[in-house]
Chain A
C-alpha cells in the first residue's frame, strides 16, 4: 500500500529549495517527499473514521512545502512525518456522523473540511474561534489528543490524501458529496470553499469594482464564487469583476466563470484604472503606477511580494486587499498601505459564513442529492435588511461547484508512483495549459 510521506530532513529541505529555483514543483524529486509502503493511521479516538481517498489535489501550499519555500511560521503547527493531501474526496470505510450531524453510511463519498480544529482535537470547551464556527481560525492547532497540524495533510497522526492506505478523519470534517457531482467536481470543493470564504470576508459592497490578481485554481474559484454568490444574493454584487490572468486558458475560464473582463496580469492595473476612472501617477501611462482611486477590493490570489505590491498600487484609499494566495516572508513597501489607509486582510480556509437569506442553502444540512439539486437552483436575492443565516462554507461551496462546474479545472491526474511528474506538472500548470493537478487513487485507475 503506497503513501507519499513527507519527512523532516534539513538536507532534503535545502535540496528541494535549490531545485525549486529552477522551477516550481522541482523540489519533489530531491526533497523530503518519498513513496513508502505504510499502513493506514490508527483511529485517534471516538468520532474518527477511516477514509479511502479517490482523488487528492495538489495545492499551492503543497507546492511551497515540497519546494522548501513555505514560511517557518508553520513549523509549530505541523508534525512530521506527514502525508500531504488536504483536497480530498474519498469513501467512508465505516458508518459515521457528518459535520452537520447527519448519519453517513459506510461507502458514502465524502469530502474533507481538512482543518483540525478543537472538535477533532477533543478540546472542550473549544477555543473562541471554533465556538463561533470559525474553525479556520482555531487557536489550538498545536494541542489536544492529536499531534500539531493545521490541516489533514500536515499532521503526523491523520495521514493525508496522497495515499492508497487511507487517512483518518473526524466527524467534524466530513461532508457528503452531493449526488451528481463527479469526483473531479468533488475534489474542487475544498479550494472552492476557500474562495467562498475569501469572497464573503473581503468586505465587498454593492457596486464595487473588484480586482482578482492571479487565475490559478484560487483566482478562478474566487471568480466563480463571487459571480455565483452575487448572482444568488449571497453577497453584494460588484459592478465590475476584473481578473488578471497570465495565460489564455485562464482568461477564458475566468470569463466563463463570470469575470467582467479577464486580461493579462500586467494589464489588470490598467483595467482597474479605466473602470474606476482614476488618474495614475509614478509610472508611464499606468503601467506600474499608483492609482489615484482604484479598486474597492483587490483579491490577491498569488501571495508574492510582487502581487501584494501590485495590489496595493491598484486598490483605492481605504479599500481592501484580501490576501488569499499563501504568502511567505516577503519584502514590500507598506508606505502606500499606511498612507492610503488600506486594509490588508488575510483570507484562510473556511468555517461558517453569515449570509443573507433566512434559510441555509440545500447543501447546508444534507448528505444527499438534495444538495446538488438545490445548488443548481438560484436563491432569490434578498432585500436589504433581510435576515441572515449561518451556513457552513462547504455548503455554499457545493452551490458554486454545481453552478460553475468547477470539476473542469482538474486538468490531469497521476498515480502516486508518478508523483515527481505530477508535482512538476502542478508547478508549471499555467504554462502547460492546466489548472488543477490531482492524484488518482481510485482502484483500477492507473495513470
Chain B
C-alpha cells in the first residue's frame, strides 16, 4: 500500500474525539464542528540498507567535495563532530544513526591510516551528555575505542584554550568556534535532521560555537525576523548562520558534511495509536489508549516521566547525503519536506496544540514551564512555511500540565530565570537587555555547564527568544490544564478545559472563530497558502 500524505480533516458530527498530547499523558477532546485537524504524512519507507547508503553517500559526495577516502591520509588531523542529545526525539532505537555514520567514517579513516582522530559532541550551550547517552548515540565500540583515551570530547563553549576566533562576518558577527575542529585538516560533521531548522551551516556555526558567536543570532531581533525559523530562506537565524558558515569555509576550515533524514515513525508499536488517525483506531488501539490513560492517572509525575523517557523511537533513516555543506543541505531540506510537508489552505483564528512530554532540551529530564513555552510558541508554532497557521492577533491554545518543576542539575539557570526574570517581565526584548549578559557570564552557571550536566546560564533566554515571533504575532496564549500560577508567570492565561479556553479566546477572536488543531507529534510542516 502506498504511503498516505498529510491530511487536513474537517470535523463534523461523525468525527470521533481528537487526541491531544498532555505532557506525560494524553486526552481526547471534542472539537467544534467545522474545525480542522492536520495529520502528519505517513512514514516514508526506510532505507533498506542504511550502512550501504551511508557508504554510498561518502563515496559519492555532492557539491565541491571529493569522496571521503580521497580526503583522508596518514598523518592528518581528523575531527568528527556529531549532533548531541537534543536529536532525534524521542531518542531512537539502537543503532543510532550517528553510530552507523561514524563507524563507517572511522573504517575509512582506518583504511587510510589516519590515527589522529577526535570525536566531539557538538553541544553548543547544551548540557554535556552522560556516558549512557554517548554510548547510546555512538555505540559501545566507538565509545570504548575513544572515550578512555580522552579522544571523545564534548564541545566546551567556555574553554578559552580550545576556542578560536576566526574573525567577523561583514555584518559584524564574531565567529568563535571549537579550536580542535577548526584547526583540523578535515572536519566531518554528522547530522540528524529531525526538522527543517537543523543542519546546514547551523551545524558548525552554532553547534561548535561560543556565546560570543551565538549571541549574534540567538536574540529576540533575529527570532522576530525568522518567519519561520523552520524555513531557512525566510529565517534570519539561518541567514546569520549561513554568513558565518561561508566565513568559516573561506577561513580554510574544510568541512565534510553528512546529513541524514528520518521518517515519521515516531512511537513504538505499543503506542501505535499515537500516530494513527482516530477514526482508524481499531479495538486494540482503543483498549491501549484507555488502559494507558487510566494507569497514567494514578502515577506520580516523576514515575510517568520515567516511563515516557524510556520510550525509544523506531525512527528510520530515509536519506543520507554527504559533501559540501550547502549542496548537502539543499537535498536534506527537500527530503524533510517530502516527509513532513502538509498543504494547508488559509490561516485560522485559533490554533490548538497538545504538547508532549519531550522537547530538544529535556531528554531524560523535566519539561519545565519555560520549555513548555518554547515547545509551544517556539517549535510547534513555527512548523510552517509561508504564513503561520494562526492569523496575526489570533489565539494559541496549548494543552500541558505546565508544572513549576525543574531539574536542578540540568536547568539551574532556568530556575533563576523563572523566579527572578519572569517575575519582572516577559518581554523578550526587555529580558535580553536587562538580564542576558548577567546570566551568560555568571561563573556558577559556567562552572555547572563545564563540569556537570547543566545547560549554559544563557540557555533559558534563548528558549524565551524562540517564542519571540509567536509572542509578537498572537493575541493571546492559553494553556489548558496547566498549573495556573506557572501559566500566569509565563504571561499566559490558564484554563481548566478546552471549552473554557474557547470561551476565553472568544474575547480576542469573537464568538465563531475558525479552529485548527495540529496533530503532532509525529512532526510535520504546514505549507500555509
Contact = CB atoms under 8 A, between A and B. Distances in A.
A264 B444 contact: no
B496 interface: no
A279 B423 contact: no
Interface stretch (B18-26, B273-281, B413-421): B413-421
B416 A274 contact: yes
Contacts of B416: 267, 270-271, 274
Interface in A139-154: none
Interface string A206-217: 000000000000
B443 A277 contact: yes
Contacts of A267: 415-416, 419-420
Interface in B316-369: none
Contact of A284 (B409, B423, B447): B409
B408 interface: yes
A251 B424 CA distance: 12
Given A284-B409, A285-B412, A286-B412, A279 B444 contact: yes
Contact of A263 (B412, B419, B442): B419
Contacts of B439: 274
Contact of A286 (B424, B438, B441, B444): B444
A202 B415 CA distance: 30
B423 A263 contact: yes
Contact of B448 (A263, A285, A287): A285
Nearest to B457: A274
15 contacts: A263-B423, A267-B415, A267-B419, A270-B415, A270-B416, A270-B419, A271-B416, A274-B420, A274-B439, A274-B444, A277-B443, A280-B444, A285-B408, A285-B409, A285-B412
Nearest to B438: A274
Given A267-B420, A271-B420, A285 B443 contact: no
Interface of A: 251, 261, 263-264, 267, 270-271, 273-274, 277-280, 284-287
Given A284-B408, A285-B409, 14 more contacts: A263-B419, A270-B415, A270-B419, A271-B420, A273-B444, A274-B420, A274-B439, A274-B442, A277-B443, A277-B444, A278-B444, A284-B409, A285-B408, A287-B408
Secondary structure of the B contact surface, majority rule: helix
A274 B416 CA distance: 8
Contact of A271 (B408, B419, B447): B419
Contacts of A280: 444
A264 to B, nearest CB: 7
B98 to A, nearest CB: 30
Nearest to B412: A285
B420 A285 contact: no
Contacts of A277: 441-444
Contacts of B443: 277-279
Of the listed residues A271, A280, A284, A285, the one surrounded by the most CB atoms of chain B closer than 10 A to its CB is A285
Contacts, number: 47
Contacts of B420: 261, 263, 267, 270-271, 274
A274 B435 CA distance: 11
Contact of B415 (A251, A261, A279, A285): A285
- Top 10 A-B residue pairs of the complex, sorted by shortest distance between their CB atoms: A285-B412, A285-B408, A267-B419, A284-B408, A279-B444, A263-B419, A270-B416, A271-B420, A274-B416, A277-B443
A348 B324 CA distance: 74
Nearest to A283: B408
Nearest to B435: A274
Contacts of B447: 279
A280 B412 CA distance: 12
A270 B457 CA distance: 13
A267 B408 CA distance: 13
B485 to A, nearest CB: 9
Contacts of A286: 412, 444
A274 B448 CA distance: 13
A207 to B, nearest CB: 16
Contacts of B424: 261
For chain B, give the interface size range.
Answer: 10 to 19
A263 B415 CA distance: 12
Nearest to B408: A285
B452 to A, nearest CB: 9
Nearest to B407: A285
Contacts of A261: 420, 423-424
Nearest to A278: B444
Interface in B416-458: 416, 419-420, 423-424, 438-439, 441-444, 447-448, 454
B458 to A, nearest CB: 13
A271 B415 CA distance: 10
A286 B441 CA distance: 17
A270 B448 CA distance: 14
Contacts of A274: 416, 420, 438-439, 442, 444
Nearest to B445: A274
Nearest to B441: A277
A264 B419 contact: yes
Contacts of B409: 284-285
Nearest to A289: B444
B522 to A, nearest CB: 35
A278 B443 CA distance: 7
Contacts of B442: 274, 277
A277 B447 CA distance: 11
A263 B443 CA distance: 22
A278 to B, nearest CB: 7
B413 to A, nearest CB: 9
B339 to A, nearest CB: 39
Nearest to B443: A277
Contacts of B441: 277
A286 B438 CA distance: 17
A280 B444 CA distance: 7
B68 to A, nearest CB: 43
A287 B416 CA distance: 11
B487 to A, nearest CB: 15
A29 B57 CA distance: 85
B480 to A, nearest CB: 23
A267 B454 CA distance: 19
Of the listed residues B424, B441, B444, the one surrounded by the most CB atoms of chain A closer than 10 A to its CB is B444
A167 B412 CA distance: 56
Contacts of B448: 285
Interface in B386-428: 408-409, 412, 415-416, 419-420, 423-424
B370 to A, nearest CB: 15
A124 B439 CA distance: 59
A284 B448 CA distance: 10
A264 B489 CA distance: 14
Contacts of B412: 285-286
B409 to A, nearest CB: 7
A267 B423 CA distance: 12
A300 B472 CA distance: 42
A270 B409 CA distance: 14
Contacts of A287: 408
A277 B416 CA distance: 13
Nearest to A264: B419
A279 B423 CA distance: 23
B404 to A, nearest CB: 11
B438 to A, nearest CB: 7
Interface in B462-488: none
Of the listed residues B409, B412, B438, the one surrounded by the most CB atoms of chain A closer than 10 A to its CB is B412
A285 B420 CA distance: 15
Contacts of A263: 419-420, 423
A186 B423 CA distance: 32
Nearest to A271: B420
A284 B411 CA distance: 11
B483 to A, nearest CB: 14
A412 B442 CA distance: 44
A274 B415 CA distance: 11
A17 to B, nearest CB: 36
Nearest to A267: B419
B16 to A, nearest CB: 42
A263 to B, nearest CB: 5
Nearest to B485: A248
